[in-house]
Amino acid sequence: MTGFKLLLHQFKFDQKLFWRSPPTVFFSVALPLVFLFLLGAVFGDAAERDEKYGLLADEYLVPAIMTLGIVSATFVNIAMVVTYNREMGVLKRLRGTPLPTWALVGARTVTAVVNAALIATVILVAGKVAYGVDVTATRLAGMAIATVVGAVSFSALGFAVTVVIPSQAAATAITNMIVLPLYFVSGVFGSVDDLPEGLAAVGEFFPISHLGACLFETFSPDATGIGLPLADLAIVIAWGLFGLVFAALRFDWEPHEGR
């Protein structure tokens, strides 16, 4: 069996594992929808537009929760699942099979990208049905590019962060400790217009805010063409390359517990 066929076989296996795990499906697919409708019920009637993108509250929520969904399906999911597999000895055993390393990593990444695209689509449809968010062909093109680039980059970061996760028990705590504060300072749970300058600067440094900026800009009424801010897209790509290099140099196939 060729490397590509092995990758495809592993991808199908990873998809089955994902959809057969109710907690994973809930936190990756259902939870972003819960946030969308919950925040929509609280802030959706606000008539003010945010200063940066000119979006109403319900328009703002859709790309914001899309950002959360993409990060959850890629960075969070990969960090937890790969750590679990490492600590259970699965990665060690897989390394002794004919499955090439690139095929294993590629299959996990493709799984994450497909799931992220699905989640983004579900959120977009929900935003259209519930809030009447306008969807155009150019907007869809911009969102598709941002989703795929963001999903690949955050997948690389998910592999990278497993290096610093010492155990299976710590995986959930560490990934949430990283992403939850960044959601707040990156504009996912509300505009950063009212944040203190220091917190806004922290958000600007990390890639979640730049992925969000790519999606927010595609929804902006002032956007031209596909509306992608190339500088923000480049920063997301740069973080992904950093994650890829870091993971390639430091990734560990052996369990950390018991050392």
Mean pLDDT of the chain: 87
Q: In whole angstroms, what is the distance from residue 86 CA to residue 82 CA?
A: 6
> Does the pLDDT value for residue 191 go beyond 80?
no
Once rounded to an integer, what is the mean pLDDT over residues 242-259?
86
Q: Residue ranges of the domains in the chain?
A: 3-250
Position 227 pLDDT exceeds 80: no
Residues 6+ apart with CB under 8 A from 41: none
Q: Which token pair is 208?
A: 């979640």
When pLDDT is cut at 50, 70 and 90, the band that residue 209 belongs to is very high
Q: At what angle do helices 137-161 and 207-219 cross, to 10 degrees?
A: 170
DSSP state of 227: -
Using pLDDT thresholds of 50, 70 and 90, give the confidence band for residue 35.
confident
In the chain, the largest separation of any two C-alpha atoms, in whole Å, equals 59
Of the pLDDT bands very low, low, confident and very high (cuts 50, 70, 90), residue 152 is very high
pLDDT at 212: 94
| pLDDT value of position 55 | 82
The whole-angstrom separation of Cα 179 and Cα 71 is: 8
